[in-house]
Amino acid sequence: MTGDPAVDLTVTGAPIRLCLLGGFRLLKSGRQVRVRPGSKTQVLLGHLGLHVRSGIPRDELTDLMWPSAAVELANQSLNTLVYSLHRLLGDAMAGHHPVLRDSGIYRLNVQAGIAVDVLEFDAAVDRGDRHAGDGDGESAIRFYGGAAQLYAGDLSLGSDVQQVVERERLRARYLHTRSRLADHEFARGRYVAALDHALDVLANDPCREDAHRMAMRSYVRLGERSQALRQYRMCRKILEQEFEAVPEPETEALFERVRLDPSHV
């Protein structure tokens, strides 16, 4: 991000970091732990990382990970896996167990030092939204910038319905933050940065008309009126192909200003 420094929202000094955005990564004392893709360890940590607050009942975990196994064998396999995680990570957590079980509910031991990037990202966006709602735009932008830095990429754990829904939810929040950052940079006269944010939004969702409009305005302010007109044509073509729809009146009005009176864009 160009301009104001972003807030660092990672948990300072967390001995274990579980990163699920942009691919699975597990870090122990700052060094990446090798976890085989698709392994039971990755599946367990990934699902627990997405249910930090609620945890997951044992039956759901065993059905997910050992759907064809007998109940007793599946429970034994889960106990073995949880113990292996303690052996792998417990020394960095002062002997605390990384996975806790309470009344049949399994959850990550965040109180003892496990940080999860999804949790940090959501917290950053929430704080940005609260500051924006309170009229504190500068603080809001700092937290939105921190959230954007935390978002290393889409959630990519699996393709079941629950994870697809969560991936889309997180992506929508990310695009929300980038749009807010684009508005801020444009208002500050930092048109290159505003354009970068707008184009990143469009790379993730080409149908976002607000991002097309921001790109058009930024191009005009950068002296690239012809590119702004091309951006409009691109927007119109994408909407027609995807939805058989036409641009919103606001987009059409902006196009007319770019075409006839760019000095007022």
Mean model confidence pLDDT for the chain:
93
pLDDT in tens, 130-148: 999 999 999 999 999 999 9
- Token readout for 3 is 């301009």
Residue 111 has pLDDT above 80, yes or no: yes
Q: Report the share of the chain in percent with pLDDT over 70.
A: 95
Q: In what order do the strands lie in the sheet with 56-57?
A: 56-57, 105-108, 99-102
Residue 52 has pLDDT above 50, yes or no: yes
Q: What are phi and psi of 101, to 5 degrees?
A: -125, 125
pLDDT-based confidence at 158, cuts 50/70/90?
A: confident
pLDDT in tens, 204-241: 999 999 999 999 999 999 999 999 999 999 999 999 99
pLDDT in tens, 146-156: 999 999 999 98
Smallest Cα–Cα separation from 182: which of 169, 170, 196? 196
Smallest Cα–Cα separation from 17: which of 130, 123, 98? 98
**DSSP three-state, residue 57:** strand
pLDDT-based confidence at 2, cuts 50/70/90?
A: very low
pLDDT-based confidence at 10, cuts 50/70/90?
A: low
Handedness of CA 86, 88, 94, 98 (dihedral sign): negative
Q: How far apart, in whole angstroms, are the C-alpha atoms of residue 61 and residue 27?
A: 23
The confidence score (pLDDT) of residue 8 equals 54
- Token readout for 199 is 């184009």
pLDDT-based confidence at 7, cuts 50/70/90?
A: low
